[in-house]
Amino acid sequence: MKKLAVLILSILMAFSIVGCSSSNQGAKSDIKVVSKVKGTVRLAFAGWQLNDGIDPITGEKNMGVKNFIKNEFQPRFPNIKIQVYQIPWQNAQAKQTAMLKSGDVDVMYTAGAYAAQWNQQGLLKDISGLIKNDKSFDPNIYLQGVMNNSYSTKSPDKKAQFGIPSVLGQYETIYDKKIFDEWGVEPLSDTATPQEVLEKAKKMTGKNPKTGKQNYGLWWEGASLNDTTFVALASYYHATGGTGTIDDPKNIKWNLNSPEMVKVMTWLKEASKYAPDAFVNNKGMENFGQEKNNNVAIGLDQNGSGIMGLIKGGASKDLLKRYKPAMNIGEGGRGWVAVDPFVMAKDAKNEKASWEVLKFFTSYTTQKYAYKNFGFTPTLAKPDFLDQDDQYTKTALKLAAISKTSLLDEANPYFSSQMIPAINGFISKAHDGNAPDIKTFLDNLQKSAEKWSAQQ
């Protein structure tokens, strides 16, 4: 264990911030002390920016975590010392897993799927009691859909709260109204159905009548790591995937070859005709969201932060009129909602101090900081600090408010490890005109899932 700890510490970037009067120079003098709890907390971030820097898109200065802690955390918690570790996203799961197992971390910011797996492995603390006994903590400030229903924050049986939602992913439909106008196609509805998207994408695939450029009506990630478009379609067509819970995989009753699932795969087969070749490698829409876009009309599961970044950097606000957001294509406008939480290690050394740190880094103060400096989408029910022009984050919050969980989620090991690669392979072959027979494809998937469950 000690060798593992030394290896981890040698790999990660670390620094300590000591909360005391001598280190508080430059901090805001009007901030009141919140707690006198004492202790040291080891805090590991997947991603985030430690040092101050310049946003590459907007050109604006942004504050790194180090100075944020100095200016905002230390004055409130003068007796808590934080040791911070920054871990790149590309190997966050392996390194954070190692830290949990070796007892070298107390609080972490991480991906929701990782957190769900760690909870099932018994590596995270159930913070339900801490929430219940802390009158200063109000769980109602968060979107209740992600606070109480997300696999990223709560166990499938709803008994254990192991995470507090911190950052949302944006997975909404965004379309280029300029291309719609050039083709004479009516704009998408606010809650465009899969059928509407398909019909309009078909109309805008071909030579643009105004520019003469080749246009593609539709784009989504054809090699997605979590198949968000598939999840939204399954919601719309009521293709549940089966019955059961992901924490009891042996007893899942799979239903992957249902008539409803046939409709999902039929849509994907047809939609693949209207996307550029590179979409099967998650490419082909590099100019979408910019003034120079001239090929893709509709983007599924999109993030508007890049557009907002361009505008902050000096681009014309006309982009807001051109790139319009809509809800996702799931039932009622639903879609998959990514939730990244802060979690506490089961063996956290100082529970009281760790709880104060976890609370602070999921608080209004931190979420405002993360949105203003890095464009992170908040998980708050009333984030009054949003840019008034940010129609994309507002849409993402509407999506999160109506989110639901299902078996078809990245937290489901079978879905993430076997279904996703199979679906992506189907999409690639369909785009090449060699789609497998859908019924046979789904029958094989059903057999594979049943075999997987039997082995659990």
Render pLDDT for 285-329 as a digit per residue (tens, 0 to 9).
999 999 999 999 999 999 999 999 999 889 999 999 999 999 999
Of 11-15, 132-136, 293-297, 343-347, the range with the lowest mean pLDDT is 11-15
Supply the pLDDT for residue 358: 98
Q: What pLDDT band is residue 14 in, cutting at 50, 70 and 90? A: very low
| pLDDT at position 15 over 90 | no
Supply the pLDDT for residue 403: 86
Q: What pLDDT band is residue 404 in, cutting at 50, 70 and 90? A: confident
DSSP-based three-state secondary structure for 331? helix
| pLDDT at position 23 over 70 | no
Q: Which one, of 306, 334, 309, 312, lies nearest residue 396 by Cα?
A: 334
Query: Are residues 231 and 420 in contact, defined by beta-carbon separation less than 8 angstroms?
Result: no
Express each pLDDT in 58-88 by its tens digit: 778 889 999 999 999 999 999 999 999 999 9
| pLDDT at position 20 over 60 | no
Supply the pLDDT for residue 75: 96
Q: What pLDDT band is residue 454 in, cutting at 50, 70 and 90? A: very high
Q: What pLDDT band is residue 12 in, cutting at 50, 70 and 90? A: very low
314 DSSP assignment: T
142 DSSP assignment: B
Q: What integer is the mean pLDDT of 380-388?
A: 96
Supply the pLDDT for residue 273: 97
Q: What distance in Å separates the CA atoms of residue 455 and residue 447, rounded to the nearest whole number? A: 13
Q: In what order do the strands lie in the sheet with 214-219?
A: 206-207, 214-219, 296-302, 172-176, 323-326
Supply the pLDDT for residue 52: 87
Express each pLDDT in 267-289 by its tens digit: 999 999 999 999 999 999 999 99
Supply the pLDDT for residue 29: 60
Other CB atoms within 10 A of residue 356 CB: 24
Q: What pLDDT band is residue 112 in, cutting at 50, 70 and 90? A: very high
Q: What pLDDT band is residue 136 in, cutting at 50, 70 and 90? A: very high
User: At which residue do the structure tokens 């490698």 appear?
Assistant: 281
Q: What integer is the mean pLDDT of 256-272?
A: 98
Supply the pLDDT for residue 157: 87
**For the chain, how many residues are written?**
456
Mean pLDDT of the chain: 92
